[in-house]
Structure 1
Amino acid sequence: MATAQIFPFEIPRNEKENYFRMHLLLEHATDVLRDVLRTQLKAAYPGLFDPSKTDKLFDVLDNLQVKHTLLLLKNRKVRNSSQMKLLYPSGTPSTTVTTQDLDITLAVVLLRNITNLNPHAKWENPPASDTSIEANIGRVKTYRNQLSHGQRLGITDTAFQAEFNALKQVLLSLSPIYTSDDYDKLLIVPLDAKDFRAKFDRLCASGAVPVYRQRVAIVGPYGVGKTHLVKRLLQEEYDEETDAYTPGVKIYRHRCIVHKDGRSCWVRGKDDPEDHLVQHMVIGIQNPDAFRRVDQVDEEPPVKSRKVEKVIYSNTRESETETASFKIFHPDLVQKIKSVARGEPVDPEKQITIWDFGGQDVYYTTHQTFLSEQNIYLLVFRLDVNLDTKIPVYRGEKTVKEFIVYWLNSIHMHTVRKSKEKKSVIPHVLIIGTHKDKLASEVAADEILGQLLDYLEDKQELAEHVYRCFAISNLADVEEFDEIKSEIEHLCGYSRDREAGRQMHPVRWFQLELDLAKKSEERPIIYIKELRDMARLVGIRDAELDEMFIPYHHHLGDVLHFKVDGLENIVILDPQWLADLFSAIMTPPVSKSGKDRLDYLKRSLEKGELNEEVFDVYLQKEKMTDMKNEVIQLMEHFDLMLDISKSVQNPMLPSGKRKFVVPCMLKSNDLVKYRPPEKAREISLFISFPHGFFPPGLFHRLIIRLLRKYKPYHCVNGIPDVGFDHASFRLEDKTSVLHLFTAEKDIELVITNAAGPPKPHVYFNTRQTVENELSYLQKTYCPRMHFGHYIRVNHGKIPIEAETVLEKDVICVCVENAEVPIDLRPYRVWFSGEEAVKKAPLVARMRLSESNSVNHEQGRTEEKEKGLPHNQSLETASAQTSSTY
């Protein structure tokens, strides 16, 4: 494939040549400053440094005054930690570093701070009359910054002649290592003959090039025009038949931003990973700034845009001695890179990857897997549907406002920080109202958006995510979408006044990306050990891989790696494959006619059941039958389902196929027969969540995790009888039963007993177990989420703290404008073991005994409902029907 050259305007060929020749002159400038440094170090440290004997800096760096000075510079952020590691890799002076290892930036730092030169002279922007060494060193650095960090990619003939001669005179005054003729030869030397191989090898060993990559997520209810909006942003055709429904998640990769005729265009970039590698190698070869060691960055920003540049690489000093271990580039690939490097300057693609999330709520549990704080979100809804209109969903219905709040809550759960520049919270959300053409006027659209923002006013933490609102019609002209694209580019850091989206990556990262892209064509998942072996072949060590490469690509959505039990050894190379897998397996059948085998096998999903044959059929279709165990393991480790067919009480079915329980797919259940009497719920404990939000998918995952610890209270045909909003479990004393119920923002914990009062430690241990599992899920899926304890008071609930319950017998709260005393003693069983309850006042123990008597009677009633003999315990009955995990 041809490598695209992307520029907002065409640069004349002579100006491009001038640009490259100035870079050649700057390479000579680096040598000049190194020579100046050698001369100054010899004068300042005559007994420690003699370049005629050795160029190593060890003795100078070992000088106490030098170490003290450089440490102060690091503390003042004049030098960074990476530069410090080059000079003092283990806190002690490097025994190998020489002046040849220093780039212009570090050479200037040392000249200004540890030599006899005047550090207070006019180093920056000296007047023309100042011809001192300090002034001329400053001029060299200024030239370098302007050329390497500026926006121009060409230099006019007039400007080139003036700048070349001016810099040449400065260099001649600083050092005699090059003559005037040496510099003039740079004006005629063939550009493609200037040590291509040397540049290539140097770039492989230690070069870094700029990268622009961001991720945009489109979310919202179904039928609002999300996919149509994506197609309009990308200026691609929308197909009413194939694009009307998005199953799960659709990923649009490698879309890059170009500017034509003053308008931003999002076009398809390079799909071939080899072209990506070629592009970035060419950028590095054409741009000498890429040759700076990847463990060095400027001690101060040369231009405003550099203030927010992200540096994604590590100290690679040690790896330079291992260039023999770097993967050898194929000769054809080297030739391709050389050929492209001879042509026009290559500008890095500013890429956007768009994730289009299906709007059906049946996908929402699996969507949690793909949400990230790194995303920019577009939350889409229909302007022509009243905000209070109820929309049918998989279970019941939701209003438009409830959908919007649901997604804002989901996004908020992934918040990690606030923007330093603004008070808005990251991730940013753009709210997009579609179908503006269905409204009477622009005013009507503004009024609807105003009503929505008013509704969000009392949900401040959610409203802070909203960066801006738009009203559009997907049928409008392309200009309708320019403002949205401009705002997205600004948030990505791609606008002309910002460079926040720029990151510097070592070249070896692109080689590994190429290898992983090829590997993903063979299999979409690999084990971490294999990835580490691949990384070592291109010079990436385990620490760099684990701490930088994988987290960066995970947040970007290029690969997925979850550092949780059972998943830490698996790396997903193709997230679209995982999204398609979730969509195919974890959704109800499209048709119940039985004509489609996969749909026929998924009929039991509405009852929360899944047969192993579903995987057989799907993976056979995808030609991945050899990966069935890995796929099942993957979905189990995501806590989406649980294998129940290998337990002692539940022998494998005659066919040998496993069965799985899938709570998130339950559509309906009979809650009445499981709800304890109100008397038994007097000391129930509520675990409540902020903002009135607890994702249903998280409750279903909690059920799965608890089924691994407790036996289900009841089974039907060997399947745990749980619901989408409740579950019951047999506890460790074998007679007590934990009942969990969830509403929009709460989980209610109730413990009943069929044989007598449960021991107080049962309450305490149960609460701890539930909260430990919730904490694990919170850390894995919703890092922002937190929860607290509540108790029921009249028709409402009040928050309580464990310390308060254990230290106070009674508290007073305001209920309906009246102060009401609340006896906390019955709730102590949830927060302490048996000893604390024994020491509680007699009234508290009597209250607990009375409640447990109710539990005992309720347990007898449950036995009768199940048709059990009065003298047969629930433990005996459950042994016939339940599973052990």
Structure 2
Amino acid sequence: MLVGAYGAGKTSTKRSLFNEPYETKHLSTDGADVYSIDITKWIIKECTTDYKGHKSVEPTQKLLGDVLVSGMTEMEYGHREHPATKAEVANVLNAVKLEGERISDVFTRLGPYKLVPWMRKREESDVYFSLWDFAGQSIYYITHQVFLSSRVIYILVTDLTKSLDDTLPVDDVHNWKIKEFLTFWMNSIHTHASPGPGIRLKQLDGSYKMATEPPVIILGTKKDLIRKENSTEAAAAIDGEEREAQKRLLEIKEFLRKHATQVVNNHVINMIAIDNKSRKEDGTIADPAVETLREKLQQLAKEYFFLGKVKAKWIHLELSLKKLQKQKVSLDEVKKFGKELKMEEAEVMKALEFYHDIGEILYFGSIPEMENTVILDVEWLVNLFTILITKSITYKKDLDAPSKINGLIDELHNEGRLHEELVDYILKRHEREEDKTILMKMMELYDIICEMPTNPKKEKSLYYLPSLLQKDAEGKNSIIFPANSSVHCHLYIHFVGNFLPEGLFYRLLVRCLKRWPESIAVIRKHKARLYFPKEEFYITMCKEDADIQLKILSIPAGDQHSPPPQSRHVSNVRKLIEEELRVVVKTYTPNLVYHPSFKCQCPNHRVGELLQGSEDADDKCVPLSGDKSSGVCPRSGMLMKDRKLDMWYWTGESSSHSIT
């Protein structure tokens, strides 16, 4: 998977790997482009424009043919020791027959059973890969959990013409430094792509061990643009650019080792600098470093075994489904094909689970509305996400869009509320109306949206969708924190390593809104205020760098004095937030570590500097100790107390009317 900042050169790197012509200008990737690839010949498999499965039909046929002649058919078809029957062999031969072939041609191509030992040596023919070119714009980061996986070799692309302190726009308002992009992507891979089952790493002695982390290659691009100005001769210029490229890679390495030591040690396999632009006279890539990258990817492909053993009938089932040339089918259709292959229903479901795990076929049986839908084309699903995410922005500038639609887009970007009417409009423009249920249920499944309680007489639904919020205008903070409000207590949840994904904060907010349907919510970018009418108090949740800040507010009605909220209600709120946070972290970012904290007021803190013996930058946070009212300051070593925390950790009797 190619990942990195917008404009870093991910798509140009893809073109270099496969000897495609360099393009000076090209459209930025929208969501993710997915290609079926052969890393032995470095070619992209051709797919039809209507269907873009990871593996097209032909490589699946060849893979099944290899399995057949290697003897797995006898072991897996019928689970017996004696050879398969003529009918069973004929069934498989018809499946692996390529276009225009006769059965006799298949025998000639595959070889009779006496060629089994020769076929077993063809290791490279048994492995097929998909290449994902992932969009670099921040608007897509909310989809990381859907597509980042432990069964991936990552190529983190960065532009070597920019220093670590140079900035790039991360959205319409914010800029990030290059070093922030690098740490963001390394942390995203580490936290989202935790180890999964079936990943084996080949050792030098030929044995295998379970791999702990997915591998990452850090790739510096635009090497040709950093050659020394005083190097006029071609040879000197090339030598100068190579030295400068290695120097900049070393700077990146030292920075990451200092600020993300554990992440780098666990993931980074190699660092390579390449020139994507230069071509030889025959059109092939000129920079030998591209071949180095290819060889490294081939080496990793041999060392990291992501699939494990696959039953021949499972591959036969996959082939039967891909031959349909459809984006999605019903579960009933899949079971029908399985029955024809003499597969029990339980085995069909196990095969679907396997293909879902490796990202070839998606099946979300846990969602009632999707339990009869099997998605065969993953890129089709990526594009479905993309339509809503990007078009909600582009249609704002569309002169043909009705003024009401512009108003609904404003409401989405300014207040985080998504109208079903807007979804209908966007999907209709792209002729995807029939996919609406899948889109909405997928976003609900991944805690991207939740339905708002609305007037039951209304035909159209209304949803919270905070991840597409845009930055407030200056001075708008008073919407969340009115001038006459009183803050009763603070609590911070600090994320170790100073990494709090924006998507995680919004997912936590969405889950809390689901749990508190009676609350009245006002949400803005990185912050929200919820009012509990029965308990008569407010809570705010804000993302501040690597911290989630919680505050309890009182806002008087007119001149009337507002009493502080009861501690038991505040404690119940905290317990629920912590409960939902545990679920969100375990589900989406299992490698994240966090702890409840308070802000220390001692003068010893140097905000932004790394704490001694830690990868944490100082932000004044002090982790709470066991008594939940004190903690040891990491700067002074002194025990600090904050008595206002007592309201959050009330230990009295339970309220008869508590928030749950």
TM tier relative to shorter chain: 0.7 to 0.9
The answer to whether structure 1 residue 228 and structure 2 residue 12 are counterparts is yes
Deviations 1:690-716 (A, max 9, x none): 2111110121122222222225865xx
Counterpart-to-counterpart distance in 1, 2:589 and 2:378: 19
Q: CA deviation at 1:251?
A: 0.5
Q: Which residue of 2 aligns with 1:454?
A: 254
Report SS of the residue matched to 1:589: helix
Correspondences of 1:275-674 after superposition (within 5 Å): 275-287=58-70, 289-291=71-73, 293-294=75-76, 316=79, 336-343=102-109, 348=125, 350-394=127-171, 395-413=173-191, 414-416=193-195, 421=203, 426-440=213-227, 441-458=241-258, 459-464=260-265, 465-477=267-279, 478=285, 479-493=288-302, 500=305, 503-519=308-324, 521=326, 524-526=327-329, 528=331, 531-547=334-350, 549-562=351-364, 569=371, 570-587=373-390, 588-590=392-394, 592-597=396-401, 602=409, 604-607=411-414, 608-644=416-452, 647-648=454-455, 652=458, 656-669=459-472, 670-674=476-480
* Alpha-carbon distance change, 637 to 326 in structure 1, aligned in 2, over 3 angstroms: farther
Aligned residue identity for 1:667: Q
- Equivalent of residue 734 in structure 1, options 496, 513, 535: 535
Counterpart-to-counterpart distance in 2, 1:789 and 1:420: 41
- Equivalent of residue 706 in structure 1, options 512, 523, 526: 512
Report SS of the residue matched to 2:548: strand
Deviations 1:113-169 (A, max 9, x none): xxxxxxxxxxxxxxxxxxxxxxxxxxxxxxxxxxxxxxxxxxxxxxxxxxxxxxxxx
Report SS of the residue matched to 2:597: strand
Counterpart-to-counterpart distance in 2, 1:829 and 1:435: 55
Report SS of the residue matched to 2:128: strand
Q: Which residue of 2 aligns with 1:96?
A: none
Aligned residue identity for 1:615: V
Deviations 1:643-686 (A, max 9, x none): 33x623x863xxx4444332111112222342388996574222
Give the structure-1-normalised TM-score: 0.58
Report SS of the residue matched to 1:708: helix
| 8 Å Cα contact 1:378/1:430 also seen in 2 | yes
Q: Which has the larger radius of gyration?
A: 1
Which range moves more in the overlay, 595-604 or 348-357? 595-604
Counterpart-to-counterpart distance in 2, 1:541 and 1:816: 63
Correspondences of 1:91-106 after superposition (within 5 Å): none
Q: Which runs of 5+ in 2 are unaligned?
A: 49-54, 112-118, 204-208, 228-240, 280-284, 556-561, 603-619
- Equivalent of residue 577 in structure 2, options 770, 775, 778: 770
Report SS of the residue matched to 2:38: strand
Which range moves more in the overlay, 438-447 or 583-592? 583-592
Aligned residue identity for 2:438: E
Counterpart-to-counterpart distance in 1, 2:534 and 2:18: 61
Q: CA deviation at 1:729?
A: 1.5
* Alpha-carbon distance change, 236 to 672 in structure 1, aligned in 2, over 3 angstroms: same
Aligned residue identity for 2:573: T
Counterpart-to-counterpart distance in 1, 2:332 and 2:143: 27
* Alpha-carbon distance change, 527 to 737 in structure 1, aligned in 2, over 3 angstroms: farther
Q: Which runs of 5+ in 1 are unaligned?
A: 1-216, 260-264, 296-314, 715-719, 838-884
Report SS of the residue matched to 1:691: coil
| 8 Å Cα contact 2:92/2:316 also seen in 1 | no
Report SS of the residue matched to 2:40: strand
Aligned residue identity for 1:252: Y
Q: CA deviation at 1:409?
A: 0.6
| 8 Å Cα contact 1:319/1:539 also seen in 2 | no
Once superposed, what is the RMSD of the aligned Cα atoms?
3.8
| 8 Å Cα contact 2:490/2:549 also seen in 1 | yes
Counterpart-to-counterpart distance in 2, 1:627 and 1:814: 53
Counterpart-to-counterpart distance in 1, 2:501 and 2:575: 21
Report SS of the residue matched to 2:596: strand
Report SS of the residue matched to 2:551: strand
* Alpha-carbon distance change, 281 to 356 in structure 1, aligned in 2, over 3 angstroms: closer
Aligned residue identity for 1:687: I
Aligned residue identity for 1:257: I
The answer to whether structure 1 residue 799 and structure 2 residue 623 are counterparts is yes
Counterpart-to-counterpart distance in 2, 1:619 and 1:412: 34
Aligned residue identity for 2:571: F
Aligned residue identity for 1:482: E
Deviations 1:311-337 (A, max 9, x none): xxxx94699999999996796976745
Counterpart-to-counterpart distance in 2, 1:535 and 1:328: 13
Structure with the bigger RCO (C-alpha within 8 Å, sep 6+) is: 2
Aligned residue pairs, count: 572
Counterpart-to-counterpart distance in 1, 2:645 and 2:95: 74
Which range moves more in the overlay, 758-767 or 414-423? 414-423
* Alpha-carbon distance change, 773 to 515 in structure 1, aligned in 2, over 3 angstroms: farther
Q: Which has the higher helix share?
A: 1
Counterpart-to-counterpart distance in 2, 1:821 and 1:512: 63
Report SS of the residue matched to 1:751: strand
* Alpha-carbon distance change, 620 to 674 in structure 1, aligned in 2, over 3 angstroms: closer
- Equivalent of residue 827 in structure 1, options 627, 633, 645: 645
Q: Which residue of 2 aligns with 1:817?
A: 636
Q: CA deviation at 1:581?
A: 1.3
Counterpart-to-counterpart distance in 2, 1:761 and 1:323: 74
Aligned residue identity for 2:526: D
| 8 Å Cα contact 1:281/1:337 also seen in 2 | no
Report SS of the residue matched to 1:590: helix
Deviations 1:448-486 (A, max 9, x none): 111111111232122121111011111134233111011
Aligned residue identity for 1:466: V
Counterpart-to-counterpart distance in 1, 2:19 and 2:483: 60
* Alpha-carbon distance change, 518 to 735 in structure 1, aligned in 2, over 3 angstroms: farther
Counterpart-to-counterpart distance in 2, 1:278 and 1:758: 67
Report SS of the residue matched to 1:804: coil
| 8 Å Cα contact 1:564/1:780 also seen in 2 | no
